[in-house]
């Protein structure tokens, strides 16, 4: 802790307030037990809050993996679709209907559905099959080995090398498998931006082969992927699609719809909110109580400072500085610890879904500010109430 | 005739209201002079601390005035009074009130830091004042490592570091044994008091009364007698 007591910028400062803040700083860090307790409280709270919200963000990101990976600007679907995985097939004529809307540059069908593979070892493995439009291959993944043209070869599939890839027994080009008594062959290995939520590998093939290999209902199109001629055309496309009884959403809107489903209709959002709130309360309890005790222990000294000639606003600044300092250090360490935990977890658990995004960091920072604010509020109140006369009276 | 340091006139302070109204100090007037060590003595509840607080700019009287170097301090704003205390008055509290998490010299330097002095300069000045009270080699220790008498000396060093005209001692020997208490007051008389400084000391410790130039005896918020020290006692 020695290094903390020699901050050069505080030492060099010539403004009166800096000297006072340096006293505040020393009072805080030299009381190591309380300083550590305060830090642990904040770190613990930040860690839990960032961890919870990061897990939630990770799950949400994975829930929209297909939307992100395909990358179409506008998605047309049945109005009852809640998530990308729960498709409601569209009639084939909707493709022509959408293509005829003014402002549509092109529209292509997409197949997305589940299937059961019989691997080379004889084991079965559930997979997600994505069928790309045969003529355009819109939404094709980035190949790291193989040739995209080979997707048109007989029985051809492209395997996505993500955290689930090993479940396909780490296939190579030429590895074959069975899908509903059809032979399938891996002709390429590709990468995508995001892995799926449900822990199953993903295979890409052509739309027609997907229909051929997987038993289907009367209607077969999972989604229509639409490229508008210009961003201004999107509104009209959405309007026309709605008039036809379907739903057109931009990529962001579709992701938000999926997110809303998980947040509001599965209980996941409530659970995450509860856990985050509990983390906040735990952090507030530990840090608030410790900080308040710290202030109470120094209350007479603050009174003595007042008697000597310190002004109330200077004492308030001391307390706010202490609360802010411990919060910033605790926040940084808490975020660092969380990042380390997620990194280590992903090393050993490739499926681990947590991702730290700026929004989560802002949320945690906001909560830390509230913790610091509430903690210091009660301390400030006590310090403002103490009268120098009380010090004389003992 | 020495110059008047403090001129208190008609000081009255009461607490509570109606049936609970209690007078702590009633119509109290006195003068204190530079170069003088004035003791205020009285039993518990006689109003010593209230009086001390009013003349040092800590507790506003209900009526009366306090002039220090011809400045009516209770006409000042709250912040101005705080500034006045910071620059003109030094306090030595009964329980010292040193910060245990700061070093001894940092404790001493606090008034200078509050005045806006550069940290390093304030610390250097603090060391010089610790030397004055004979604790130079204790400068970097925390106060809790010092004896009661040493802590009282640190408090004295803190009180004088900003070179105040008025020094206020509140029961400075209450937490010390007899010999240490006497030695502290003797030290203050011999080393801290000078012609440009006035020391007011509140006590009910009879053993140190011989160090006073004058002693004001209080009871029920009023002066009961004023005793001038005999020449041989000084």
Encode pLDDT of A25-54 as tens digits.
998 999 898 899 889 888 988 998 899 889
pLDDT at A288: 83
The answer to whether residue A12 scores a pLDDT higher than 60 is no
Nearest-by-CA chain A residue for B56 = A307
pLDDT at A157: 95
pLDDT at A391: 74
Same domain, A14 and A150: no
Same domain, A274 and A136: no
Look at residues A304, A386, A17 and name the one whose alpha carbon lies nearest to residue B90.
A304
Nearest-CB residue to A388 (from B58, B101, B158): B58
A301:B97 CB<8 A: yes
Look at residues A132, A117, A116, A95 and name the one whose alpha carbon lies nearest to residue A210.
A132
Q: Are strands A182-191 and A156-160 parallel, antiparallel or unpaired?
A: parallel
Helix, coil or strand: residue A193:
coil
Across A140-167, average pLDDT? 91
The answer to whether residue B1 scores a pLDDT higher than 50 is yes
Give per-residue pLDDT as tens, A70-128: 989 999 999 999 888 888 999 999 999 999 999 999 999 999 999 999 998 889 999 99
Count: domains in chain A: 2
Nearest-CB residue to B53 (from A27, A31, A392): A392
* Model ipTM value: 0.85
The answer to whether residue A5 scores a pLDDT higher than 80 is no
pLDDT at B6: 92
Across B151-162, average pLDDT? 91
Which residues of chain A make contact with B89, given a CB cutoff of 8 A? 309
What does the alpha-carbon distance between residue A277 and residue A348 come to, in Å, rounded to a whole number? 29
A391:B97 CB<8 A: yes
Return the structure tokens found at A180: 């509903």
A389:B59 CB<8 A: yes
The answer to whether residue A150 neighbours chain B at the CB level (below 8 Å) is no
Picking from A307, A318, A394 by the largest number of B CB atoms within 10 A of its own CB, the best residue to mutate is A307
Question: Which domain range does residue A285 map to?
Answer: 9-62+268-393
A391:B111 CB<8 A: no
Q: Is residue A353 part of a domain?
A: yes
Across A203-207, average pLDDT? 95
pLDDT at B234: 45
Instruction: Label residue A320 by pLDDT band (50, 70, 90).
Output: very high
Q: How far is CA A59 from CA A136, A274, A351, B15, in A?
A: 31, 17, 10, 65
- Chain B: which residues have CB within 8 Å of chain A? 49, 52-53, 58-59, 79, 82-87, 89, 91, 93-95, 97-99, 101-102, 106, 110-111, 113-120, 122, 158, 170
pTM check: above 0.80: no
B114:A301 CB<8 A: no
B113:A310 CB<8 A: no
Across B93-104, average pLDDT? 89
Q: Is residue A346 part of a domain?
A: yes
Q: Are strands B22-33 and B198-203 parallel, antiparallel or unpaired?
A: unpaired
Average pLDDT for chain B: 88
Return the structure tokens found at A325: 């300092």
Picking from B25, B51, B99 by the largest number of A CB atoms within 10 A of its own CB, the best residue to mutate is B99
B101:A19 CB<8 A: no
Same domain, A301 and A351: yes
A388:B120 CB<8 A: no
The answer to whether residue A216 scores a pLDDT higher than 50 is yes
Which residues of chain A make contact with B15, given a CB cutoff of 8 A? none
Q: Is residue A255 part of a domain?
A: no
As a whole-number percent, the residues of chain A with pLDDT over 90 amount to 49
A307:B106 CB<8 A: no
The answer to whether residue A13 neighbours chain B at the CB level (below 8 Å) is yes
Which residues of chain B make contact with A391, given a CB cutoff of 8 A? 93, 97
Same domain, A375 and A276: yes
Same domain, A240 and A273: no
The answer to whether residue A16 neighbours chain B at the CB level (below 8 Å) is yes
Produce one character per residue of A8-17: b if its CB has 16 or more CB atoms within 10 Å, e if not. eebeebeeee
The answer to whether residue A16 scores a pLDDT higher than 80 is no
| Strand (E) or helix (H) holding A366 | helix A358-385
Across B113-125, average pLDDT? 92
Which residues of chain A make contact with B175, given a CB cutoff of 8 A? none
Which residues of chain A make contact with B120, given a CB cutoff of 8 A? 11
The answer to whether A227 and A105 are in contact (CB under 8 A) is yes
Same domain, A116 and A240: yes
Q: Is residue A36 part of a domain?
A: yes
pLDDT at B125: 93
pLDDT at A7: 44
The answer to whether residue A394 scores a pLDDT higher than 70 is no
pLDDT at A354: 87
Picking from A14, A302, A308, A311 by the largest number of B CB atoms within 10 A of its own CB, the best residue to mutate is A308
The answer to whether residue B102 scores a pLDDT higher than 70 is yes
Q: How far is CA B8 from CA A85, B55, B171, B224, in A?
A: 87, 7, 21, 16
pLDDT at A194: 81
A23:B110 CB<8 A: yes
Instruction: Label residue A393 by pLDDT band (50, 70, 90).
Output: low
Across B120-148, average pLDDT? 91
Q: Is residue A70 part of a domain?
A: no
Question: Which domain range does residue B130 map to?
Answer: 4-233
How many beta-carbon pairs below 8 A join chains A and B?
97
Same domain, A225 and A277: no
Q: Is residue A167 part of a domain?
A: yes
Strand locations in B88-160, DSSP E?
89-92
The answer to whether residue A64 neighbours chain B at the CB level (below 8 Å) is no
Give per-residue pLDDT as tens, B57-98: 989 999 999 998 888 999 988 888 988 899 899 988 888 889
Q: Is residue A377 part of a domain?
A: yes
The answer to whether residue A328 scores a pLDDT higher than 80 is yes
What does the alpha-carbon distance between residue A348 and residue A342 come to, in Å, rounded to a whole number? 10
Q: Which A residues 218-277 touch B at CB under 8 Å?
A: none
Give per-residue pLDDT as tens, B163-194: 899 999 988 888 778 788 888 888 888 878 88
Instruction: Provide the shortest C-alpha distance from residue A331 to chain B (in Å).
Output: 25
pLDDT at B230: 57
What does the alpha-carbon distance between residue A326 and residue A25 come to, in Å, rounded to a whole number? 10
Same domain, A330 and A185: no
Q: Is residue A58 part of a domain?
A: yes
The answer to whether residue A160 scores a pLDDT higher than 70 is yes
Same domain, A191 and A95: yes
The answer to whether B130 and B136 are in contact (CB under 8 A) is yes
Instruction: Provide the shortest C-alpha distance from residue A303 to chain B (in Å).
Output: 9
Q: What are B75's strand-pairing partners? A: none
B82:A298 CB<8 A: no
Instruction: Provide the shortest C-alpha distance from residue B1 to chain A (in Å).
Output: 30
A304:B91 CB<8 A: yes
**Which CATH number belongs to the domain containing residue B118 in this structure?**
3.40.50.300
pLDDT at B192: 82
As a whole-number percent, the residues of chain B with pLDDT over 70 amount to 97
Sign of CA dihedral B136, B138, B144, B149: negative
Which residues of chain A make contact with B58, given a CB cutoff of 8 A? 307, 387-389, 392
Count: domains in chain B: 1
B91:A19 CB<8 A: no
The answer to whether residue A2 scores a pLDDT higher than 50 is no
Question: How many other C-beta atoms lie within 10 A of the C-beta of residue B191?
Answer: 13
């Amino acid at each position: 802790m020695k290094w903390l007591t020699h901050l050069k910028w505080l030492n060099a400062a010539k403004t009166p307030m800096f000297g006072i803040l340096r006293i505040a700083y020393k009072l805080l860090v030299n009381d190591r037990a309380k300083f550590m307790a305060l830090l642990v409280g904040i770190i613990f709270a930040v860690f839990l809050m960032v961890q919870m919200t990061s897990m939630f963000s990770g799950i949400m990101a994975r829930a929209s993996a297909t939307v992100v990976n395909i990358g179409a600007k506008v998605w047309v679907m049945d109005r009852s679709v809640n998530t990308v995985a729960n498709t409601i097939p569209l009639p084939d004529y909707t493709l022509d209907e959408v293509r005829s809307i003014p402002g549509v540059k092109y529209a292509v069908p997409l197949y997305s559905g589940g299937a059961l593979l019989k691997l080379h070892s004889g084991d079965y493995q559930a997979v997600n099959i994505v069928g790309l439009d045969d003529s355009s291959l819109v939404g094709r993944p980035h190949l790291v080995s193989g040739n995209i043209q080979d997707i048109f070869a007989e029985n051809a599939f492209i395997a996505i090398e993500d955290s689930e890839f090993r479940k396909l027994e780490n296939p190579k080009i030429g590895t074959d498998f069975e899908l509903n008594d059809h032979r399938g062959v891996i002709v390429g290995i590709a990468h995508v931006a995001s892995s799926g939520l449900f822990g199953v590998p993903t295979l890409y093939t052509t739309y027609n082969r997907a229909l051929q290999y997987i038993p289907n209902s009367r209607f077969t199109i999972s989604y229509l992927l639409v490229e508008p001629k210009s961003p201004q055309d999107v509104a009209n496309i959405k309007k026309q699609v709605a008039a036809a009884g379907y739903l057109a959403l931009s990529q962001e809107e579709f992701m938000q719809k999926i997110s809303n489903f998980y947040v509001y209709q599965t209980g996941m959002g409530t659970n995450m909110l509860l856990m985050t709130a509990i983390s906040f309360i735990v952090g507030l309890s530990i840090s608030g109580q410790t900080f308040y005790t710290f202030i109470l222990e120094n209350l007479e000294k603050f009174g003595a400072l007042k008697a000597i000639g310190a002004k109330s606003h200077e004492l308030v600044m001391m307390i706010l500085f202490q609360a802010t300092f411990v919060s910033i250090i605790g926040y940084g360490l808490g975020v660092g610890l969380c990042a380390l935990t997620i990194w280590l977890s992903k090393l050993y658990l490739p499926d681990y879904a947590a991702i730290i995004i700026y929004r989560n960091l802002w949320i945690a920072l906001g909560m830390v500010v509230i913790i610091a604010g509430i903690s210091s509020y009660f301390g400030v109140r006590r310090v403002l109430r103490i009268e120098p006369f009380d010090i004389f009276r003992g | 005739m020495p110059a008047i340091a403090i001129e208190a006139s008609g000081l009255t302070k009461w607490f509570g209201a109606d049936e609970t109204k209690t007078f702590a100090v009633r119509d109290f007037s006195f003068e204190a002079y530079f170069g003088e060590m004035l003791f205020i003595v009285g039993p518990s509840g006689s109003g010593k601390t209230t009086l001390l607080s009013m003349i040092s700019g800590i507790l506003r009287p209900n009526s009366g005035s306090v002039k220090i170097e011809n400045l009516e301090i209770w006409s000042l704003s709250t912040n101005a009074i705080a500034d006045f205390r910071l620059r003109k008055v030094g306090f030595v509290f009964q329980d010292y009130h040193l910060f245990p998490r700061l070093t001894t010299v940092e404790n001493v330097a606090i008034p200078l830091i509050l005045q806006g002095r550069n940290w390093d300069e304030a610390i250097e000045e603090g060391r010089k004042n610790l030397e004055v009270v004979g604790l130079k080699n204790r400068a970097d220790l925390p106060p809790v490592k010092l004896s009661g008498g040493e802590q009282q000396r640190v408090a004295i060093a803190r009180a004088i570091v900003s070179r105040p005209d008025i020094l206020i001692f509140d029961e400075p020997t209450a937490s010390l044994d007899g010999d240490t208490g006497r030695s502290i007051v003797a030290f203050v008389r011999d080393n801290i008091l000078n012609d440009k400084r006035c020391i007011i000391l509140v006590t009910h410790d009879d053993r140190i009364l011989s160090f006073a130039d004058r002693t004001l005896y209080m009871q029920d918020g009023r002066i009961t007698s004023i005793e001038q020290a005999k020449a041989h006692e000084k």
